[in-house]
């Protein structure tokens, strides 16, 4: 039985240009994406890539230069932020310093002119949800970072928005807290059923929390897909490098087509799917993750692959293979730690389906 | 061994000897004249510069001096009119200049605010006098109030601008995000957070207005004498202990307001 | 931040309108009117005849003698020169007095620093007239200085040291008026000095004089320049010190101008002198801006 997917947010051909004096910056170039209802959707990318800009456009804090944004099939670009049923959790929390926790969380409800009984019960309900009920009378400057973050979350959730926007909410927390909050946020999203749009530059965070991810770089959306898809089949070099570790090796296409063959500069050949636009003898880039490559001790000294770096990580090791100055990164599983050392000559194997051609 | 030498040498070189004493002399230079002035106000002798004994009589005499009282009332009227006006104008200007983003007249407006500080006071005084005379504007104290408002604006502006810049701009965005319209946001978020800055600006403007002399001297007509102008006329007639007494009171008042301002600012910043 | 559906420009203009109106009409307006008046003919009863005339400016340099001939009159040039020289001297003295104090204060603990700077600032917020008046009590006939001299028998009761109504009296008054304005900027730039630089320098330079010359002075230069401007400009146009301490004998630009509007009733001349003073101040400010830019470039290179 298939679920009917509802489009929560439709971003169509959105461009955002900032003008300062004579200088123009293109923060977003013709972005297109769809976010479904009840989805944990992440915008992932390095600093300045445009992910926060997109979030602000959805929230209504910025004007669109071109394009349209639909919220449940309603055009919202002409609406000011206070008319959009969308709420934001800010990176620095931005709690109102002159109001206590209760008043902060009740703020949205009061602006919506709900009657005071409703306001009170809903506020306490949502404070309970984030486990901050006892702090209702405290002022924000009396709270720790993690506590402020929960209040910010409660404040945004109280008015029951259709979509919750989160702008790198975990970046100011220390590691242990961050990991705990990741789990809590994920649970919260499942429990409330609200669409979460989450912005982060931390790819590990994106992979663990998201239903789907949009990878953005320099204002352009690079790839949209589920975490596994993005990890296993990155659509270009940027995504391959940004998510996890990647080997990007130059090769020549020997045989094009579905059962194609490419030859690495090391001399190894790979059987893999070659995209149709690649012809014989074209140069290509092969993408393969370090953990996919298998190595074994070289029986003959003829092998040109030598371990040039050996980095011990405790539960694993990463090694670098050097062949004619082409470097290949390989992850060693724990059982192989004692077998290999720097200076060893090795052979490598590329299991089937482990590599792909990337543009 | 080496480290110890370096440290003592460092500290030794740092603190230039004699600078402490020099600073003491500096503060002496700054405050002793004031101290002398205040002391002489308690001089029971009529001849201001010959000390004969301690007395409050000059202060008592102030209370029966109608002219001084009228002048004092005028000073306060002007200050209580000009300072709020200047503060309101400064507040709007600060909101536009700090939160308004980039726009064509930004530099110009910024410059406009600092203009009263850059033009020498005597020039402003003379120009304002000529201006009012040429246009036949002869509204007594109102002339003075207008002139004071102009040069109080930059003084009110500075603390307000500082407070606004220190405020997280996302706070107003957060309010908008939570269904608050522009007016509501201003009333519930911006204004409450800006109020300490506005009060500081008001206090500065008030003190500046009370203390002003040159501009008031030139601009004030007959019945619009303020206290500093009256003191000037007394000084011109010759030094008398009454002048010392009223001067000491004025000094005490200004110092009181400034100290209030200082403590108020310390409290906000903590 | 540009929220859709809100007319930003309109709001801005609305907010800035009071500012433009008040300063435009009551600050720029008067300056323009004054410029016009400086080009008018004087009316003996005060005010002006609405007739074009360069007499205001001409009077700065020339005078008509009894034979209706025009001859050069150095009197006002002397006043201008005196104003300039005294302003320079006052600036230099303030620098001399204020620099060590600023340095000392910046070396104290935070708590002490704040209190000391507050004490430096207080005089600035009190009435300048009153503060200058205090010096009459000190310098005047029978004043504190002379009384002490009588007391110690250094002076007999009949004669006087004649400290008042001299250039020196005015100089003391000027320095006293604006000294805090020299200290504050220097203190501010010293605050910004990186302690580690001084530490490193202590290794390089063996004596204190080099330390001052090579490190402290250059780094506090922006403050020194700023403070000097803050003292020099008001001194140029000062009125209270020359009026109270110089009497009618030693005129400076400020008291000269004021005189034209009280007793002399020569508005065009007064306006012309005021324009001249304004031009002088603008020149100094432009010079200051150039100096700051050059210094910033120099500092960036370092």
Residue C50 has pLDDT above 80, yes or no: no
Interface test with A, best of B178, B180, B189, B195 (most A CBs within 10 A): B178
What's the pLDDT score for residue B191?
92
Domain C75-301 in this protein, CATH class = mainly alpha
Residue B53 in any domain: the answer is no
Q: Do A94 and B178 touch (CB under 8 A)?
A: no
Number of independent structural domains in chain B: 2
Whether residues C2 and A62 touch (CB distance < 8 A) is answered with yes
The yes-or-no verdict on residue C145 having pLDDT over 90 is no
Angle at A350 between CA A312 and CA A275, to 5 degrees: 125
In a domain, B55, yes or no: no
Looking at the fold, whether B124 and B237 belong to one and the same domain comes out as yes
Chain B contact for A113 (CB, 8 A cutoff): no
Size of interface A-C (CB pairs under 8 A): 21
pLDDT tens digits along A179-231: 888 999 999 999 989 999 999 999 899 999 999 999 999 999 999 999 999 99
Choose, out of B173, B177, B185, the residue to mutate when testing the contact with A (most A CBs < 10 Å). Answer: B177
Domain borders along chain A are 7-241, 245-358
**Residues forming a β-bridge with A167:** A199
Q: Which tokens belong to A16?
A: 């955002």
d(CA C129, CA B247): 9
Higher per-residue pLDDT: A354 or A84: A84
What is the rounded CA–CA span in Å between residue A197 and residue A189? 10
Q: Assess C277–B contact: CB distance below 8 Å, yes or no.
A: yes
Specify the CATH number of the domain A7-241. 3.40.50.300
Residue B94: give its domain's CATH number.
1.10.3720.10
Name the helix (H) or strand (E) containing A73.
Answer: none
pLDDT in tens, B176-197: 999 998 889 999 999 999 998 9
Give mean pLDDT, residues B79-84.
95
- Residues B133 and B126: their CA atoms lie apart, in Å, by 11
Give yes or no for residue C271 having a pLDDT over 80. Answer: yes
Chain segment B28-68, per-residue pLDDT in tens: 999 999 998 888 888 777 665 566 777 777 788 888 888 88
Nearest to B179 among A20, A90, A159 (CB): A159
Residue C8: closest C-alpha in chain A: A63
Q: Which of B9, B23, B130 sits opposite C33 (nearest CB)?
A: B130
Q: Do B78 and B160 share a structural domain?
A: yes
> Worst-scoring range by mean pLDDT, A143-147, B183-187, C11-15?
C11-15
pLDDT tens figures, A4-54? 678 888 898 899 988 877 788 888 999 999 999 999 999 999 998 999 999
Q: What is the mean pLDDT of chain A?
A: 87
**Pairing verdict, β A86-89 and A163-167:** parallel
- What per-residue confidence (pLDDT) applies to B1? 44
Domain assignment present for residue B50? The answer is no
Q: Which among A62, A77, A79 has the least Cβ separation from residue C1?
A: A62
Average confidence (pLDDT) over A126-151? 92
Q: How confident is the model at residue C106 (pLDDT cuts 50, 70, 90)?
A: confident
Q: Please give the Cα distance from C221 to C189 (Å, whole number).
A: 8
Average pLDDT over residues B159-164: 91
Bridge partners (DSSP) listed for residue A221:
A216
Could you give the ipTM of this predicted complex? 0.84
Min CA distance, A29 vs chain C (Å)?
A: 19
B78 or C15: which carries more pLDDT confidence?
B78
CB B38, CB C126: distance < 8 Å: no
Quickly name the fold that domain A245-358 has.
OB fold (Dihydrolipoamide Acetyltransferase, E2P) (2.40.50)
Cβ of C5 under 8 Å from any chain B Cβ?
A: no
Chosen for mutation from A53, A91, A107 (greatest number of chain B CBs closer than 10 Å) is: A107
DSSP per position, A153-203: HHHHHTT--SEEEEESTTTTS-HHHHHHHHHHHHHHHHHH--EEEEEES-H
**Domains A7-241 and A245-358 are alike in CATH topology:** no
d(CA A275, CA A259): 10
Say if residue C1's pLDDT is above 80: no
Cα angle at C134 between C128 and C137, to 5 degrees? 150
Is the minimum CB–CB distance between C22 and chain B shorter than 8 Å? Answer: yes
Same domain, B181 and B262: yes
**Residue C5 pLDDT grade (very low, low, confident, very high; cuts 50, 70, 90):** very low
Same domain, B104 and B172: yes
- Inter-axis angle of helices C253-262 and B121-134, to 10 degrees? 20
Nearest-angstrom CA–CA distance, B112 and B12: 48
Chains that touch A (3 or more CB pairs under 8 A): B, C
Distance of alpha carbon A57 from alpha carbon A75, whole angstroms:
13
Give the dihedral sign, CA C210/C213/C217/C219: negative
Nearest one of C127, C119, C18 to B79, comparing CA atoms: C127
Domain positions in chain C are 75-301
Q: Which of residues 161-190 of C touch B (CB under 8 A)?
A: 176, 179-180
Give the minimum alpha-carbon distance from B21 to chain C in angstroms, rounded to a whole number: 9
Highest mean pLDDT among A287-296, B106-115, B141-150, C61-70: B141-150
Give the closest-approach CA distance of B34 to chain C in angstroms.
Answer: 6
- Which residue carries 């004994």 as its tokens? B53
Q: Which residues of A touch B170 (CB under 8 A)?
A: 90, 92, 94
pLDDT 10s digits, C214-230:
777 777 888 888 899 99
Q: Residue B46: which of B208, B239, B261 has the closest Cα?
A: B239
For residues A19 and C2, what is the distance between their CA atoms, to the nearest angstrom?
Answer: 12
Q: By the CB < 8 Å criterion, does C140 face chain B?
A: yes
Model confidence, pTM = 0.83
Question: Does any domain span residue B46?
Answer: no
Beta partners for C85?
none
Average pLDDT over residues A139-164: 92
User: Mind telling me how many Å the CA of A99 is from chain C's nearest CA?
Assistant: 24
Mean per-residue pLDDT of chain B: 85
Residues B12 and B73 in one domain: no
- The pLDDT tens digits for C173-226 are 999 999 999 999 998 888 877 667 767 766 766 666 666 677 777 778 888 888
- Domain with B34, as residue range(s), is 2-41
Tell me, yes or no, whether B91 and B145 share the same domain: yes
Report residue B210's pLDDT band, with 50, 70 and 90 as the boundaries. Answer: very high
Element (H, E) at A223: strand A220-225
pLDDT given for residue C46 in this prediction: 63
Chain B: partners with 3+ C-beta pairs within 8 Å: A, C
> HEC string of chain C?
CCCCCCCHHHHHHHHHHHHHHHHHHHHHHHHHHHHHHCCEEECCCCCEEEEECCHHHHHHHEEECCCCCEEECCHHHHHHHHHHHHHHHHHHHHHHHHHHHHHHHHCCCHHHHHHHHHHHHHHHHCCHHHHHHHHHHHHCCCCHHHHHHHHCCCCCCCCCCCCCCCHHHHHHHHHHHHHHHHHHHHHHHHHCCCHHHHHHHHHHCCCHHHHHHHHHHHHHHHHHHHHHHHHHHHHHCCCHHHHHHHCCCCCCHHHHHHHHHHCCCCHHHHHHHHHHHHHHHHHHHHHHHHHHHHHHHHHHHC
- Chain B interface disruption, residue of A20, A83, A90, A141, most B CBs within 10 A: A90
DSSP string covering A1-35: -PPPPPEEEEEEEEEEEEEETTEEEEEEEEEEEEE
Measure C267 CA to nearest chain B CA, in Å: 8
Let me know whether B135 and B20 are in one domain: no
For A294-343, write each residue's pLDDT tens digit.
Answer: 888 777 666 677 788 888 887 778 888 877 777 888 888 878 777 888 87
Which has the higher per-residue pLDDT, B209 or B109? B209
The answer as to whether B51 is a domain residue is no
Q: In the prediction, which pLDDT does B9 show? A: 45
Residues B95 and B37 occupy one common structural domain? no
The answer to whether residue C62 scores a pLDDT higher than 50 is: yes
Q: What is the 3-state secondary structure (H, E, C) of B73-138?
A: HHHHHHHHHHHHHHHHHHHHHHHHHHHCCCCCCHHHHHHHHHHHHHCCHHHHHHHHHHHHHHCCCC
Q: Which residue has the higher pLDDT, A149 or A263?
A: A149
Q: What is the pLDDT of residue A168?
A: 93
Give the up-direction half-sphere exposure of residue B149: CA atoms within 13 A in the CB hemisphere: 25
Across the interface, whether the CB atoms of C4 and A61 are under 8 A apart is answered no
Put simply, the answer to whether A80 touches C2 (Cβ < 8 Å) is: no
**Cross-chain CB nearest to C6 (options A62, A77, A80):** A80
In a 13 Å sphere around the CA of B196, the CA atoms on its Cβ side amount to 18
φ/ψ of B53, rounded to 5, equals 170, 170
């Amino acid at each position: 039985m298939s679920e009917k997917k509802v489009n929560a947010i439709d971003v169509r051909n959105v461009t955002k240009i900032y003008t300062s004096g004579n200088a123009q910056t293109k923060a977003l170039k013709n972005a297109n994406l769809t976010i479904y209802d009840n989805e944990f959707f992440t915008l992932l990318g390095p600093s300045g890539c445009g992910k926060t800009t997109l979030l602000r456009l959805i929230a209504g804090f910025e004007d669109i230069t071109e394009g349209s944004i639909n919220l449940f099939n309603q055009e919202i670009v002409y609406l000011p932020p206070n008319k959009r049923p969308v709420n934001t959790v800010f990176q620095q929390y931005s709690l109102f310093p002159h109001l206590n926790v209760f008043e902060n969380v009740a703020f949205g409800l009061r602006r919506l002119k709900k009657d005071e009984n409703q306001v009170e019960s809903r506020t306490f309900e949502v404070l309970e949800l984030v486990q901050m009920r006892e702090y209702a009378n405290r002022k924000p400057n009396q709270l720790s970072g993690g506590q402020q973050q929960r209040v910010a979350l409660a404040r945004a959730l109280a008015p029951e928005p259709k979509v919750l926007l989160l702008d790198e909410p975990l970046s100011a927390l220390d590691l242990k807290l961050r990991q705990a909050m990741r789990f809590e946020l994920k649970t919260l999203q499942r429990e409330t059923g609200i669409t979460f749009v989450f912005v982060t530059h931390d790819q590990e965070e994106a992979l663990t929390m998201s239903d789907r991810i949009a990878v953005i770089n320099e204002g352009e959306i690079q790839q949209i897909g589920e975490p596994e898809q993005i990890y296993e089949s990155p659509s270009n070099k940027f995504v391959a490098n940004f998510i996890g570790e990647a080997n990007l090796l130059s090769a020549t296409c020997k045989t094009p087509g579905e059962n194609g063959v490419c030859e690495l500069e090391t001399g190894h050949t790979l059987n893999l799917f070659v995209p149709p636009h690649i012809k014989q003898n074209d140069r290509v880039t092969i993408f393969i993750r370090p953990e996919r490559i298998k190595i074994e001790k070289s029986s003959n000294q003829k092998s040109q692959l030598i371990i040039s770096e050996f980095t011990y990580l405790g539960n694993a090791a990463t090694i670098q293979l050097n062949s004619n100055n082409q470097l290949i990164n390989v992850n060693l599983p724990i059982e192989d730690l004692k077998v290999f050392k720097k200076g060893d000559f090795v052979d490598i194997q590329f299991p089937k389906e482990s590599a792909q051609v990337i543009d | 061994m080496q480290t110890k030498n370096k440290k003592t040498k460092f500290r030794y070189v740092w603190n230039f000897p004699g600078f402490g004493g020099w600073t003491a002399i500096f503060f002496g230079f700054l405050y002793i004249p004031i101290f002398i002035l205040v002391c002489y106000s308690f001089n029971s002798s009529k001849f201001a510069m010959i000390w004969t004994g301690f007395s409050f009589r000059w202060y008592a005499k102030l209370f029966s001096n109608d002219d001084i009282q009228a002048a004092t009332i005028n000073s306060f009227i002007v200050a209580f009119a000009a300072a709020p006006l200047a503060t309101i104008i400064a507040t709007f200007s600060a909101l536009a200049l700090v939160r308004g983003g980039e726009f064509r007249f930004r530099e110009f407006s910024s410059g406009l605010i600092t203009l009263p500080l850059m033009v020498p006071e005597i020039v402003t005084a003379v120009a304002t006098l000529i201006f009012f005379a040429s246009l036949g504007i002869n509204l007594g104290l109102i002339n003075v109030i207008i002139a004071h408002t102009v040069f109080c604006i930059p003084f009110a502006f500075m603390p307000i601008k500082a407070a606004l810049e220190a405020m997280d701009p996302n706070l107003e965005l957060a309010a908008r995000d939570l269904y608050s319209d522009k007016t509501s946001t201003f009333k519930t978020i911006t204004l409450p957070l800006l109020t300490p800055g506005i009060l500081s600006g008001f206090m500065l403007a008030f003190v500046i207005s009370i203390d002003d002399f040159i501009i008031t001297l030139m601009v004030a007509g007959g019945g619009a004498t303020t206290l500093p102008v009256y003191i000037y006329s007394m000084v011109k007639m010759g030094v008398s202990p009454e002048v010392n007494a009223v001067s000491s009171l004025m000094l005490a008042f200004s110092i009181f307001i400034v100290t209030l301002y200082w403590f108020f600012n310390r409290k906000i910043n903590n | 931040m540009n929220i859709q559906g809100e007319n930003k420009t309109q709001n801005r203009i609305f907010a800035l309108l009071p500012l433009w109106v008040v300063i435009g009409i009551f600050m720029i307006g008067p300056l323009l009117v004054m410029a016009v008046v400086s080009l008018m003919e004087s009316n003996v009863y005060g005010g002006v005849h609405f007739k074009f005339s360069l007499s205001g400016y001409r009077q700065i340099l020339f005078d008509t003698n009894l034979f209706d001939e025009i001859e050069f009159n150095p009197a006002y040039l002397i006043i201008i020169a005196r104003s300039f020289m005294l302003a320079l001297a006052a600036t230099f003295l303030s620098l001399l007095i204020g620099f060590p104090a600023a340095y000392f204060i910046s070396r104290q603990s935070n708590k002490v620093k704040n209190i000391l700077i507050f004490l430096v600032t207080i005089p600035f917020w009190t009435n300048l007239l009153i503060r200058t008046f205090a010096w009459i009590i000190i310098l005047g006939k029978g004043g504190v200085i002379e009384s002490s001299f009588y007391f110690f028998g250094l002076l007999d009761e009949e004669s006087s040291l004649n400290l008042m109504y001299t250039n020196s009296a005015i100089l003391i008054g000027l320095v006293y008026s604006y000294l805090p304005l020299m200290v504050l900027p220097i203190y501010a730039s010293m605050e910004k000095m990186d302690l580690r630089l001084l530490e490193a320098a202590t290794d390089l330079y063996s004596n204190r004089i080099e330390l001052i010359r090579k490190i402290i002075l250059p780094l506090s230069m922006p403050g020194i320049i700023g403070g000097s401007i803050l003292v020099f400009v008001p001194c140029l146009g000062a009125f209270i010190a020359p009026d109270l301490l110089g009497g009618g004998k030693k005129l400076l630009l400020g008291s000269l101008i004021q005189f034209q509007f009280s007793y002399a009733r020569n508005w065009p001349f007064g306006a012309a002198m005021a324009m001249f003073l304004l031009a002088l101040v603008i020149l100094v400010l432009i010079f200051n801006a150039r100096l700051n830019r050059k210094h910033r470039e120099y500092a960036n290179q370092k």
